[in-house]
């Protein structure tokens, strides 16, 4: 799976406005609903599902990356959004470092295998320091999407 297959330029926020963990999740979900990637009627349920997941253990996986994710029984396809914060956000990451790159995704509840596959592919991508460097240096949505698109497809 290539992250570029889940994202369009419209699903990329080159500079997040929020600076707080929960506000950022809200900003990302609002972006999805405001731009028609997620039905607005699912906003509150999605936020609640993400909050429940995040309260179990932070999705800040380290190296400046967080992958908040949840299930929904009201969607048919994975919905994702990428946000970048040059300033960094305290996401209570496992390494206690600020998070600069956030990939939030929602998976249909019936597709648990897809959830694991998506999570693994995103985590694997962000283990590469060169990818993080390129994403940090990217000027705009197009550049960010090009970084994702240039990555090899993994299973």
Q: Which of 21, 69, 100, 115 is catalytic?
A: 69
Closest CA to 106 of 152, 61, 39: 39
119 CB contacts (<8 Å, ≥6 apart)?
67, 69
Residue 115 annotated in active site: no
From start to end of 41-91, where are the E strands?
A: 60-62, 65-66, 69-72, 79-89
User: Which structure tokens are listed for 64?
Assistant: 């400046």
CA 116, 140, 29, 26 torsion-angle sign: positive
Exposed (0-12), middle (13-18) or buried (19+): which is 46, by Cβ within 10 Å? Answer: buried
DSSP letters of 89-101?
A: EB---TT-PPEEE
Q: Catalytic residue numbers? A: 69
């Amino acid at each position: 799976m290539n992250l570029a297959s889940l994202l369009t330029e419209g699903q990329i926020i080159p500079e997040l406005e929020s600076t707080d963990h929960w506000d950022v999740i809200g900003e990302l979900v609002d972006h999805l609903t405001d731009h028609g990637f997620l039905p607005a009627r699912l906003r509150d349920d999605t936020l609640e599902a993400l909050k429940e997941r995040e309260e179990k253990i932070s999705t800040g996986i380290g190296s400046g990356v967080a992958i908040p994710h949840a299930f929904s029984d009201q969607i048919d396809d994975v919905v994702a959004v990428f946000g970048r914060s040059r300033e960094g956000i305290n996401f209570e990451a496992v390494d206690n470092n600020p998070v600069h790159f956030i990939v939030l995704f929602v998976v249909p509840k019936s597709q648990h295998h897809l959830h694991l596959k998506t999570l693994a592919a995103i985590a694997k991508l962000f283990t590469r320091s060169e990818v993080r460097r390129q994403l940090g240096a990217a000027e705009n949505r197009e550049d960010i999407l090009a970084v994702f698109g240039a990555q090899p497809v993994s299973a």
